[in-house]
Amino acid sequence: MPKIYLLDVTNRDGVQTSRICLSKLQKTMVNYFLSKMGVFQSEFGFPTTLHETNYLNANLELAKLGAFGDMRLSGWIRAIEKDVESAFRHVPAIEYLNLSISTSDQMIIHKFKGKLDHAQVISEMVDAVKLAKKLGARAIGVNAEDASRTRIEYLVEFSKAAKDAGADRIRYCDTLGCDSPFSIYERIKKLAQEVKIPIEIHCHNDLGMVVANSVAGAMAANDAGQDTYINTCVNGMGERAGNADLVAVILAIKYGAGVAGKYQLDEKIDLKMAWKTCKYASYAFGVPIPINQPGVGANAFAHESGIHADGALKDRRNYELYDYEELGRGEPDIIETGRQITVGEYSGIKGFRNVYENLEVEFKNDHEATKILELARHANVHNQKPLVQDELKFIAEYPRICKKIMTMSPLKGFNENEI
């Protein structure tokens, strides 16, 4: 039976959200939380972007140590040989890649402006896929940017060429969010039936249908006998109106009429980590969770009107489709109102050790404690906000790699005279 897997793109498309950003340590923590949720793969960044290099290599090292369980880490690059060569030069241990190129008439004519025609788009992509395989990529997804506005006959031709070149999946990108659940179902079912390849679903929320479109696309690929991989972002972050919200997608598959019980979600998904994951991402991005957000919003389990309150008190199933405990909710958020010792960029060793003792983290000696303190100071500067408990614990567990994550060398490779 074909399955639905989650391929989260918070650390790639999510961080491309205008006006916000994540530090490299925060991106690492997002990977950590995603792995705890049982996500199949995290698209963790851009292997051709120099300021990502240390972070990407460090996270691959963490993955080898088991810090992210068996979650895969994948990079995003353009489907051109130059990017493939650059990716393996800067991040030699990378094994999973998504190669992206535009396929619609709109993009080929009005974006490439004569640099590439339809045949050349396929040729560029094929050469890039073959080179990535040759250099050591274990699995490759080929992204058809603007697939929803691409002529279906050309999309099939493009996808068959990608498959023949060695691609493992095709990413159907509803780049402008113009699909509806009906159109995306028909198009993806035809694509999956004709090409016979697993499909990634990458949708945007410009018309407010991103979760519905993502689930409908996944159903279509499954109905055609193929596994599918829904691209999600924590809290629905992403360019413009955002991408498919991770938690909402899971809830839709688990509880949606006509979906639940008929389609199989990856059994590794653990919704109990949802609350903690979404709260961390909200803090890191500096973007509050809307009160009406499915599952994790403040009002998701709130009842005020008399009829609703009475019904919920009699039997929660009267007005609640799923249980808040399933999302890791229910424990009170304790706010300290008395004395607090915190860790910041100017912390001293006494206060620092007190904080870690409360976290039940012990150091062998003062030398080790001083080293971790220095890293925690740098991390506060790096994040530009106070560290949360999970970050403090992570730094203590992986100090050497955290140092690498927070190390950046602007304009590395340039001579002083060139700047």
Query: Residue 419 has what pLDDT?
Result: 59
Query: Residue 334 has what pLDDT?
Result: 79
Q: Does 418 score more than 80 pLDDT?
A: no
Q: What is the pLDDT of residues 283-341, one digit of tens each?
A: 999 999 999 999 999 999 999 999 999 999 999 999 999 999 999 999 888 788 888 88
Q: Does 25 score more than 90 pLDDT?
A: yes
Q: Does 415 score more than 80 pLDDT?
A: no
Q: What percent of the chain has pLDDT over 70?
A: 98
* Residues sharing a CB contact under 8 Å with residue 74, sequence separation 6 or more, in sequence order: 7, 41, 42, 43, 44, 96, 97, 98, 139, 141
The tokens describing 416, both together, are 């002083």
* Model confidence band, residue 411 (pLDDT cutoffs 50, 70, 90): confident
Q: Does 408 score more than 90 pLDDT?
A: no
Q: Does 414 score more than 70 pLDDT?
A: no
235 DSSP 8-state letter: G
The answer to whether the beta carbons of residues 18 and 239 sit under 8 Å apart is yes
Query: Residue 11 has what pLDDT?
Result: 98
* 359: number of Cβ within 10 Å: 12
Q: What percent of the chain has pLDDT over 90?
A: 90
Residue 349 burial by CB count (10 A; 0-12/13-18/19+): exposed, middle or buried? exposed
Separation between Cα atoms, residue 277 and residue 261, nearest integer Å: 26
Q: Does 401 score more than 90 pLDDT?
A: yes
CA 170 to chain centre: 17
Separation between Cα atoms, residue 261 and residue 263, nearest integer Å: 6
Separation between Cα atoms, residue 6 and residue 3, nearest integer Å: 10
Cα end-to-end distance, the chain, whole Å: 57
Average pLDDT, the chain: 95
Query: Residue 232 has what pLDDT?
Result: 98
The answer to whether the beta carbons of residues 137 and 167 sit under 8 Å apart is no
Separation between Cα atoms, residue 369 and residue 121, nearest integer Å: 55
The answer to whether the beta carbons of residues 15 and 35 sit under 8 Å apart is no
Query: Residue 416 has what pLDDT?
Result: 63
Q: Does 37 score more than 80 pLDDT?
A: yes
392-395-400 Cα angle (round to 5):
170
Q: What is the pLDDT of residues 156-213, one digit of tens each?
A: 999 999 999 999 999 999 999 999 999 999 999 999 999 999 999 999 999 999 999 9
